[in-house]
Amino acid sequence: MANFFCDFRFLLLIAAVAFIYIQIRLFATQSQYADRLAEAVESENHCTSQMRLLIDQISMQQGQIVTLEDERKRSFEERLQLKALIQDLERKGLHQLTDKTQEPVAAVVIMACNRADYLERTIKSVLKYQTTVASKYPVFVSQDGSNPDVKNKALSYDRLTYMQHLDYAEVETERPGELIAYYKIARHYKWALDQLFYKHNFSRVIILEDDMEIAPDFFSYFEAAAILLDKDKTIMAVSSWNDNGQKQFVHDSYVLYRSDFFPGLGWMLTKSIWDELSPKWPKAYWDDWLRLKDNHKGRQFIRPEVCRTYNFGEHGSSMGQFFKQYLEPIKLNDIQIDWMSMDLSYLMEDNYVKYFADLIRKAKPVYGNDAVMKAYNVMGDVRIEYRDQSDFERIARQFGIFEEWKDGIPRTAYKGVVVFRYQTQRRIFLIASDSLKRLGI
């Protein structure tokens, strides 16, 4: 009996120890769960705090968006009001500057952007000679963008009409690395010419850039040229510029030429030509585009021997390309010529081929790689034949004239012939191998 009682107590002791162990484990587990629960509650409180912060930030941003939207609407309304004001100023200015009894010969538009000092020099030059023919040549300044100095400068003159081109559309270049400026320039040209031909209904427009001075007979020259444009539909445009018009290569201010190469830099075109060009106007490089054979379709351009415009724009979108070598030495005509009294019938297509061929026929042919040296010793006009573009560039380089070609045409060329003065009076004709045949010589 005593042994049984001892065994029973031993079992109770084991049971007590087991119970105590279980209680300890249970307490430890409860403590772990309590700690985890506290962490979860703390994490939940943190998430709630972050969510409230995000809600506050979103609410603040929504308020800012609403404010920006209101500002955008106000800005849009202000632009509309500004546009209406500019259009009203255009109408009033044009009404004051035109003569109801006389149809203008052409509108003159000065294309500007952000060079107020250049623009002022150009305006002063134009108005200096435009005063006596103001009703024939109403002057416009078309600004691309919102440069305030340019705008204020243009509006400070009451003898011209101000136009403003505001285009906020993003520019996408066709090739990486291209200058956006050339795309913006092309947009501006199309807009300005559409305005002048379709809104103001001019029959002709003379385009100048904001870095040009004009000659004393600039307006007389274009008045006579307008008659040529109307009579001869093989003439696409008339230019006041000669790419080889440097002082050493010109002599006679009375001489004009036809050219297959578009000169630009002070040029006039008609509404009928613009009707053709406007729908397909390029995104960029409009002047190179206009020189493509597919666009001028065999039509030609009138150009002077001595320039009627001078380009002083060393700084601009073209980065002063060619300025020192070709632009700065240009001779600007300095004598007054009454072009309306001149007989320009020799420039009509049928007459001109015979006229030009006769000039070449009288020139002495010079051959060989030393043709330039031989030309130096020849009295009178000289003609030198070139085989291809590289041969032309070699000869042109020796004389110092423009070597550049565009779409297979050298600058200033007519039927493959480039003509310029040499040693003051003599003409040099650089002639492509097939030019004599094309001219019937």
Does the residue 41 lie in any domain? no
Of the residues 347, 370, 397, the one at which a domain ends: 347
Q: Is the pLDDT of residue 271 over 90?
A: yes
Which range marks the domain in which residue 419 is found? 359-438
In a domain, 54, yes or no: no
Tell me: do 314 and 420 sit in the same domain.
no
Mean pLDDT of 9-14: 70
Q: Do 155 and 276 fall into the same domain? A: yes
Say what the alpha-carbon torsion angle 218, 221, 227, 230 is, to the nearest 10 degrees.
-60
Residues 86 and 199 in one domain: yes
Separation of CA 260 from chain center: 22
Q: Which residue has the higher pLDDT, 264 or 4?
A: 264
* Closest alpha carbon to 418 in 404, 279, 375: 404
Whether residue 34 is contained in a domain is answered as: no
Residue among 307, 229, 227, 233 nearest 263 (CA)? 307
The side-by-side arrangement of strands in the sheet containing 417-422 is 364-366, 382-386, 426-432, 417-422
Output the pLDDT for position 231.
Answer: 95
Tokens of 262: 């578009």
The confidence score (pLDDT) of residue 319 equals 46
Which amino acid is it at 216? P
Say if residue 237 is in the same domain as residue 307. yes
- Average pLDDT on 232-251 reads 97
Comparing 61-70, 104-113, 299-308, which segment has the lowest mean pLDDT? 61-70
| Rounded Cα–Cα distance for residues 108 and 126 (Å) | 9
Q: According to the model, what pLDDT value does residue 217 have?
A: 98
Q: Could you say which of 300, 321, 347 is where a domain stops?
A: 347
Instruction: Kindly state the percentage of the chain with pLDDT values over 70.
Output: 83
Q: Are residues 223 and 368 in the same domain?
A: no
Residues 397 and 254 in one domain: no
Distance CA 11, CA 9 (A): 5
Q: How confident is the model at residue 89 (pLDDT cuts 50, 70, 90)?
A: low
State the pLDDT at residue 364: 96
97 assigned to some structural domain:
yes
Q: Cα Rg for the chain, rounded, in angstroms?
A: 39
Residues 363 and 324 in one domain: no
Q: Per the domain annotation, does 8 fall within a domain?
A: no
Any idea which residues carry the catalytic annotation?
287
- Classify 126 as helix, strand or coil: helix
Predicted pLDDT at 313 = 83
Question: Same structural domain for residues 363 and 224?
Answer: no
Q: How confident is the model at residue 432 (pLDDT cuts 50, 70, 90)?
A: very high
Residues 130 and 242 in one domain: yes
| Mean pLDDT score, 25-35 | 69
Q: Tell how strand 256-259 and strand 409-410 pair up.
A: unpaired
For 140-184, the pLDDT digits (tens) are 999 999 999 999 999 999 999 999 999 888 888 888 888 999 999
Residue 301 pLDDT: 98
Q: Which has more confidence, 5 or 44?
A: 44
Range 176-194 average pLDDT:
94
The residue type of 96 is Q
97 has a pLDDT exceeding 60:
no
Question: Does residue 26 lie within any of the structural domains?
Answer: no
User: What is the CATH classification number for the domain harbouring 405?
Assistant: 3.10.180.20
Q: What is the mean pLDDT of the segment spanning 74-96?
A: 57
Higher pLDDT, 50 or 107: 107
Alpha-carbon distance values, 383 to 69, 164, 398 (Å): 70, 49, 15
Report, as an integer, the average pLDDT of 367-395.
Answer: 92
Give yes or no for a contact between 142 and 112, defined as CB atoms under 8 angstroms apart. Answer: yes
Give domain status of residue 235, yes or no: yes
CATH number at residue 190: 3.90.550.10
79 band by pLDDT with thresholds 50, 70 and 90: low
DSSP state of 434: T
- Assign 53 a pLDDT band (cuts: 50, 70, 90): confident
Average pLDDT over residues 434-440: 90
Q: Provide the domain count of the chain.
A: 2
What is the mean pLDDT of the segment spanning 26-45?
69
Among the ranges given (69-78, 89-98, 144-153), the one the predictor scored with the smallest mean pLDDT: 89-98
Residue 355 pLDDT more than 70? yes
Same domain, 330 and 386: no
> What pLDDT, on a 0 to 100 scale, did the predictor assign at position 76?
62
Same domain, 305 and 415: no
Q: What is the pLDDT of residues 281-340, one digit of tens each?
A: 999 999 999 999 899 899 999 999 999 999 998 775 554 556 788 889 999 999 999 999
End residue of a domain, out of 298, 322, 347: 347
Least confident interval from 43-47, 164-168, 244-248, 301-305: 43-47
Across 390-418, average pLDDT = 95
Identify whether 134 is part of a domain.
yes
Percentage of residues of the chain with pLDDT beyond 90? 64
- 253 and 368 fall within a common domain: no
The rounded mean pLDDT for the chain is 87
